[in-house]
Every structure is written in structure tokens, then in C-alpha cells.
Structure 1
Amino acid sequence: MTTGLTSMIPEPQSAGPRKRILILVHRVPYPPDKGDRIRSYHLVAHLARLGEVDLAFLTDEPVEAETLEVLGRLCRRVEAVPVSRFGRWIRAAWSLANGRSLTEGLFESPTLRTLIGRWLGEADYDAVVCYSSGVLSYVLGRGLESRLVADLVDVDSQKWFDYAGRASGPKAALFRLEGRRVRTLEREAGRARAVVLATNTEAEIYRNFCPDACVEAVSNGVDLDYFQPVLGVEETGGCVFAGQLDYRANVLGLEWFCREVWPLIRERVPSATFDIVGRKPVAAVQRLSAVPGIRVVGPVPDVRPYLQAARIVVVPLPVARGVQNKVLEAMAMGRAVAASPAALEGLALVPGRDALAIDEPDDWSRTIARLWDDTQTRTELGRSARRYVEQNHRWETCLGRFDDLIDGKVGRLLGSQG
């Protein structure tokens, strides 16, 4: 999916001395066209306004020249550290067998560990920013806690516990074990200057098991220039879902919706259609195309035409953590959004005015049927949705809290520099 953001390079702030900032990311932070890349890219771009950034990240796929060019314009140094997909699962199994989490093994790289050691020896960083729990192990135990800002985004351990609750047998046991071990890692992050999470709900979950940590809630934004309503374009589609189609929460949600909800919708609206749009559709998603009225579109160069054509954008996620970018993007496009309550949990919107929160299959079918031919209600929902994201989810406003975290005006362990 295209982003239109290649030229969006921020101007540096001129006031005060330039900070030296080290940023570690568990995956390539560009292009900002899916979940973790969206927040990580905008975070890198925002911090580049505050000082000189050294950026290192892991990648299990070739890195495009454009990616390195864009990130190179933002940062003083950029290092993409390759890891093999097969090798990372070997390291994950080894990590699990040795009492650590799969997560730590999946994101382990001796090359990156050596690089970080060298960079720390060369520069006296004012702040070290870790994006996600997967890269915490590279800096914990190095005496950097007073300078560390850990952007965990979500409480990943809780996600694994949620998965365990929806699984059975050995799979449920494995998910619970991973949840316990990731939680141990998350607790260690509590020694940092600050732990950042994407919603107040996630922040409260974290505080419950790490009450002494300095915890900040910093929500996601959305690119309001790129995702905006296109006036005069006719709604030619039906329901649309747009998201990463190999992400477990999305797959579980789509399977549930197509099995439990879609047949009820078709009973009420026999002509109803449902397009599933996104990268890397796994076999379970591809099989959904056999259901009458459902089309698995798969990857597209630009998701906006599909959102713009949709009568209703649906986000049926019984299990969801943090802020759902797919919801913000659809709302920014001025679309009527119907979502599971969990998918809206991190947003301070008014259900029923800005978006529709729906739980049970019968409620889903009645709501979709009611909206199908009600252009006025869909338009009102879309206008309210756009107004909500304009007021609450501008990136520059959302990430502004990082300015104080990097400056050391907020946080704990500020007396020393490790």
C-alpha cells in the first residue's frame, strides 16, 4: 500500500542544544504502511526534530533503497541488521528452552548486540529509545536506565494471555508461558526513565504489575492529509476490512465474523458484499473467499480507494490491544466504522456518534442491515469520525509528550546518567 510520505521530512527544532538520541526498532520503520511501522516511523521522524538520531533496526527482508534514503535524511546514522527468517525461529526455540521468551529469541542478533555496544562506546547519548519489548534486552543491564525511554506500545504479555484464553491444549499452554516470560521482561523495563504505552487502558494494565514505574500514555496519530475524504466519489462497495492478513488477531477476527456474522447479514441483505484487503493473506483468510459475498482482495498498492468506496468499514476484532491504526485511517477518510468494542477501547470517542461499537452477531447483522441503505446516517457517522481524529489524533500533538521524556523533564531515575 502506498503512503505518500516519502517527502515528509520534518524541520529540526532550532531552540536549545541538539540531543544525541539512540533509537532501536525491532523491524524496519519504513514505509509507514502497516501497524508497527506507522508509529515507529513517525516516532523516528519526530525525534529527529529534537536532535541527532542514530537508528538501528532488524530486518528479515530486503530493505529498499528508498527506505534507507528516507531514514538517512532523518538520522545521523542508520544501520539495518539482517536476520534470517529460519534462523530467528531457531533462536526463538533456544530462548524458550533456556527460560526466556520466544519474543527475545525472535529479535536476537549478535550483530546488532555488537553494533549497539560499539555505538554506546562512541557516543554519550542523552536518551536511548527502545521501540517494543523485542529490543529491550539490547540495553537492559548496561546502566542506561536513567536515559531509557521504552515505547512498548502495547502490553504484549496481556496479548499472549488473551490468545491463551481463546486456544486449548498445548497451544494455550505455550501462549500462557510466553505471556509469563514476556511479562518478566516488561517488568524489567519498569526501571527505565519512562515506559510508554499507546492507551490509558494499556498503561493501567502495566501499572497493575509494575506500580513503581513511570508510565506515560501516548496515543497514535494518523496522517490527516493522506487519509482524507474524497468528495463526490460514489460508494460502490459494501463492507470492507483493511489490515495485515497474517496477524493473528486479524485472522481470528475475520474467521469469527465470516462464520458467525456474515451469514446473518446476507439473510437481511442478500446482495451484501465484503472485501478483505491487506498484505500476506494466510491460508485461513484465503479460504474465506469461498463464502458467498466475500472477496479476499489481498495486497493493493493503495488502500484508500477501497475505503472510500465502502458503505461500512468493519473491524471485528474480539482480541485487540492498543490503538488500531485501521480504525483511525477509516475514520480519517470519513467512513462509517463498525467495530468490536475491543478495537475501539484505546480511543476516547463517543460510541454511536463517532463510530459504532458492536459485540454480538445479531447486533452486527441488524446494524449493518440498517446502515446499508441509510446514506444519511452513514454520512453523519463519517463526518463525526473525521472531526474526532482531527481533534485527537494529529501525530505532532500525540508525540509531543516525547519532547519532555527526551529532555528528562518527566520520568524516574533522573539523578544520574547511568
Structure 2
Amino acid sequence: MRELLYLTHRLPYPPNKGDKIRSWHMLQYLSRHFRVHLGCFIDNEEDWEHTRRVAELCASTRFIDLRRHAARWRAMQALLARQSMSVHYYRDPQLLAWVHDLLAGGRVRHALAYSGPMAQYLDGGAGSALYRLIDFVDVDSDKWRQYADSKPWPVSLLYRRESQMLLQYERHIAQQFSAASFVSQAEATLFRQCAPLARRKTGHFNNGVDAAYFAPGLALTPAPYPAGAQVLVFTGAMDYWPNIDAARWFVQQIWPALRYRYPALLFYIVGSHPAAQVRELARVPGVVVTGTVPDIRPYLAGATLAVAPLRIARGVQNKVLEAMAMGKIVLATPQALEGIAAQPGLELLLARDEIEFIHHATRVLQQQAPESAMGAAARQLVLQDYDWERNLQGLGAMLGLQAQANPGHIVPAEQLHPTREPS
């Protein structure tokens, strides 16, 4: 069996946040086709207990403890070097030495870097002789640009600089590597515009959803909400800035009008490690901040409406796909729907501003059985377009596992499984 080096910026288990969901399913797929050598960082103390589960799928592993204070110091040093802070944040001599020793054996011929900063370990040296795939997932440089637009000076200046430095790095890596992949056609199209010299190497494969796990009608207990309550729910990692910004914007700009019309209405913010700015929202009448929960599904199943009020986003929002898989009506901003080929009005609801959010939410709350048609259409879309096993064939094609792929040519995922363009 062929051997592959897989580098990730975070332990790909448990799959409890967006990046880990994708990297975990990729590892499972890769382990069926390669002897996988995994090198990754661990940035959460709780994740150390899961290393054995991950190692079971690998021929060898190297886990690096990511000390956040040291990583932030490295990121600050990038300012003097006129380089990307994100790249320096994940620069570690121990991991570099492990990669060097592994490649010196000459058995590894393929390498996959998950997220841009991990590509630095394959940039030059023995890595140049490999077939190298970089899964950027999102166009992170554009995400930093969005951060800059939302932050006051001087933080905005720092973030804008990072956007520029990271884009230079992304262009360099895409040109040097054999192929580059993204999480959606929209992300791949944006990157082709940002890095035209790498456009022929750029493709994508969609995320998926475990539709058997996220299924409507499951007997989930205990019920997290008061009996008979109408509830809006927002899920996600609540220490992640786009989610923090979304929760604050919703509570400050949308919630007062909805709560005025429906005094008993509840808004649940469900997700791990809520930042102080999120915890403060629990002081607002009707708003509940749960923190980490053992199972997100009961909160989705019992909600009247799942909201995704993101103003900053790149890639595909798993929170949207999971709610759709459970047959829930989703009300989301255009940013939250980036990369999801759903038709507003048929499979979900689209709100471009506060007024549309209030309008759509009010209509759903007034209905007696709001989920029957739209919820069913949402789940059908997930079953049709967001099956992991089917979508990971795109990854296989990029690594030469399909007959129509070869190391010099990247097969765009849309040729493998056509999907509808977002309307």
C-alpha cells in the first residue's frame, strides 16, 4: 500500500467543530487507501485523550503540544520578518524534524497538508519530490480581510496586513504544490481569481453530513427546552470570532423586535467555550448561553427555527448543513450560505439584513407546522449533495485514486458529482 504524509493544524478528532469534521472524514478515507503518517498539533488539553483513537488509523503519528503563548509570540515575530502571522503561529522545529526524518526513508511519495500554514513543512527540501496536495479549505486571506473590515484601528491595520501576507503565501504554495483544493466551488472560484497562475491546479470537494446521525424524528432525551416553548437556536464554537460577532449582532439588532412580538420566545446560543462577549448576552431576557453540550442534536430537534446570522464567513457552514439534515428550517445570511447549493424559499430562508430576519422569523413563528415542506426539502438536498463518501471521491481523484486522474492533472470535483449553483 502506498504511503502518505498527512499534516493537520489540529488533532482531527473528535469531529466537534468545522475544521475537525472535515479533517476527520478525510483521515478515515485516506486510511483505506494509504498507510498514513499523521503529524498534527494539539491545542486543547482534552484532545490528548483521543490520540489513541486517531493513531489506530495511522502507520505512525507525531503529536505536538501547541502552547498558545509561545505560538502567539512566534506570530508576533512574523511582523519583523514581513511574513504571515498564521504561518509562524504553526512553525515548530520538532514537527519539522519529524517530517524530515520520515521523508528521508524514501517510502512516502504523497503528502497532504490540511490548511495553508501546514504546507510550510513541505515547501522545499525533500517535500519537493512528493506529489503534494494542499487543502486550503477556505480562502483564509479573504477571511482576514473581512476581520479587518469589522475591527477598529489599529487592529484593522494588523489584520489587513495579515490578509496581504497570507495571500502572498497562499499563491506561492499553490504554485509550488501539485494541486490545491477547497471546500466548495465558490471558494475555488474566488481563489482562482486571487491566484490566476494556479487556476489549473485548483479544485474542490464538498463537505458532507452524517445524515444517519443528524436525522429528523430521533428519540433524543432529555429535551433541553421548556415544554411548549418556541425556540430559536444558533450553534457553533462560541470562541470563534465570526460566531461571536453573529451572536452579538442577532441579540442586539434582531432579538428585541422578536421578543417584543413573542414575549415567551427563547433564543439558545449553543456551543463550546463561549467567549466573555457571548456569555454577557445571557443577561438579555430570553437569551440562554449553554456552553459545551454533550449532544447538539436535541437542541436542533426541539427548536422552531435554526438561525445562522453570520456576517463574516468563508467556506461552508457545517452548522447549516446539520440543521438541514435534521429537517429544520434554517434562516441564514448570504455569508452563511456561501458554498451551499440551496434554493432560498424552497430549502431554507435567506435574510440579507435585520428587517428580513425579523420578517422571516415572524412568519415561521406564526405557522402551525412550519417544517413539513421546507424541512423535508432541506434534508433531501443534504442526502443528494452532501454525502461524505460520495464527495470524498473528489479527494481521491486529486490524489490519483480514480482512473481519470493522474499526478499532473487535477479533476475538478464538479466533474465527479455535479451540483446546482446557489440561486
Aligned to 2:37: 54
Q: How many residues of Structure 1 are paired with residues of Structure 2 in the alignment?
A: 397
Contact 1:235 1:310 in 2 (8 A): no
Amino acid at match of 1:137: Q
1:36 aligns with 2:36: no
Offset at 1:122?
Answer: 1.6
What does 1:150-299 correspond to in 2, within 5 Å? 150-191=134-175, 192-213=177-198, 214-230=201-217, 236-299=229-292
Deviations 1:93-150 (A, max 9, x none): 1122211111012111111011111111124323100000121111112263561100
Deviations 1:23-43 (A, max 9, x none): 000011101111110000001
Aligned to 2:303: 310
Offset at 1:366?
Answer: 1.6
Aligned to 1:78: 61
Contact 1:340 1:359 in 2 (8 A): yes
Contact 2:254 2:357 in 1 (8 A): yes
Question: 1:320 is paired with a residue of what secondary structure?
Answer: coil
Q: In the aligned structure 2, how far is the partner of 1:50 from the partner of 1:399?
A: 12
Deviations 1:306-340 (A, max 9, x none): 11100000000011100001111111111111111
Offset at 1:212?
Answer: 2.6
Higher mean C-alpha displacement, 303-312 vs 399-408: 399-408
Aligned to 2:224: none
Q: In the aligned structure 1, how far is the partner of 2:58 from the partner of 2:204?
A: 25
Q: In the aligned structure 2, how far is the partner of 1:122 from the partner of 1:271?
A: 65
Question: 2:196 is paired with a residue of what secondary structure?
Answer: coil
1:332 aligns with 2:352: no
Higher mean C-alpha displacement, 262-271 vs 346-355: 262-271
Q: In the aligned structure 2, how far is the partner of 1:56 from the partner of 1:179?
A: 26
Q: What TM-score does the superposition give when structure 1 sets the normalisation length?
A: 0.91
Deviations 1:21-77 (A, max 9, x none): 110000111011111100000011111111111001011333656522221221111
Amino acid at match of 1:305: P
Q: Quick one: which of 366, 373, 376 aligns to 2:366?
A: 373
Q: In the aligned structure 2, how far is the partner of 1:199 from the partner of 1:140?
A: 25
Change (3 A) 1:232 1:405: closer
Higher relative contact order (CA closer than 8 Å, sequence separation 6+): 1
Higher mean C-alpha displacement, 357-366 vs 23-32: 357-366
Question: 1:263 is paired with a residue of what secondary structure?
Answer: helix
Q: In the aligned structure 1, how far is the partner of 2:106 from the partner of 2:212?
A: 37
Q: What TM-score does the superposition give when structure 2 sets the normalisation length?
A: 0.90
Q: Identical aligned pairs, as a percentage?
A: 35
Deviations 1:130-188 (A, max 9, x none): 00012111111226356110000000000011111122311110110000011011001
Higher mean C-alpha displacement, 215-224 vs 60-69: 60-69
Change (3 A) 1:209 1:165: same
Q: In the aligned structure 2, how far is the partner of 1:231 from the partner of 1:399?
A: 27
Higher mean C-alpha displacement, 29-38 vs 89-98: 89-98
Contact 2:399 2:407 in 1 (8 A): no
Q: In the aligned structure 1, how far is the partner of 2:117 from the partner of 2:10?
A: 9
Deviations 1:179-206 (A, max 9, x none): 0011011001212111001111111111
Q: Quick one: which of 335, 347, 352 aligns to 1:354?
A: 347
Deviations 1:225-270 (A, max 9, x none): 1111125788745000110001011111111111111111122222
Question: 1:275 is paired with a residue of what secondary structure?
Answer: strand
Question: 1:169 is paired with a residue of what secondary structure?
Answer: coil
Change (3 A) 1:369 1:132: same
Higher mean C-alpha displacement, 162-171 vs 62-71: 62-71
Q: In the aligned structure 2, how far is the partner of 1:206 from the partner of 1:235?
A: 47
Q: In the aligned structure 2, how far is the partner of 1:411 from the partner of 1:335?
A: 42
Offset at 1:360?
Answer: 1.4
Change (3 A) 1:70 1:170: same
Change (3 A) 1:309 1:257: same
Q: Quick one: which of 87, 95, 108 aligns to 1:125?
A: 108
Amino acid at match of 2:115: S
Higher mean C-alpha displacement, 233-242 vs 320-329: 233-242
Q: In the aligned structure 2, how far is the partner of 1:201 from the partner of 1:235?
A: 40
Amino acid at match of 1:36: D
Change (3 A) 1:357 1:139: same
Offset at 1:300?
Answer: 0.6
Aligned to 1:106: 89
Unaligned runs of 5+ in 2: 221-226, 411-423
Contact 2:253 2:354 in 1 (8 A): yes
